A = this chain, B = another copy of it.
Amino acid sequence: MEEALKEANKALNINEVPVGAVIVYNDQIIGRGFNMREKNNDITAHAEIIAIKQASQKLGTWKLDLCQIYVSIDPCLMCYDAIRQSRIKKIYYSADQQISKKKSFQAYIHMDDQVEVIGGLLADESEKLMKDFFYKLRSKNVRH
């Protein structure tokens, strides 16, 4: 999760909502990503999706059955379903979404989904990143 938080920090540094993700296979990181929605003008450029793409390229398949994903926040619905479709069986996340709880995957998760979800790892650090981001945003709004 520390590595996912490092990725989130990279997003913060370019003024993106600080979310980071890494994908682990056989105890090795094979995919990394941080949120680049604004920079890339791409609604799908979320940390999780960038990390999934990288991992799939590395393994030469979109089937990531033997991988785990670490995300600095609970995934949105789009990312949750991308993770599920990629057959990742284990999601570790750090903080809970504060802003839009009902838009996180948790409102939708299905009992028959074969995905284990473990939340709360290093949550304080992830929450701090989010607070820093929104503090920066508010300060900017005051200045401009």
Task: Give residues in A with beta carbon < 8 Å to B.
Answer: 37-38, 41-44, 49, 52-53, 56-57, 60-62, 76-78, 81-82, 85-86, 102, 107-108, 110
Contacts and interface: CB of A to CB of B under 8 A. Distances in A.
A85 B43 contact: yes
Given A43-B52, A43-B56, A62 B82 contact: no
Contacts of A38: 62
Contact of A61 (B41, B52, B57): B41
Contacts of A41: 56-57, 60-62
Binding site secondary structure of chain A: helix
Nearest to A57: B41
Contacts of A110: 102, 107
A37 B97 CA distance: 29
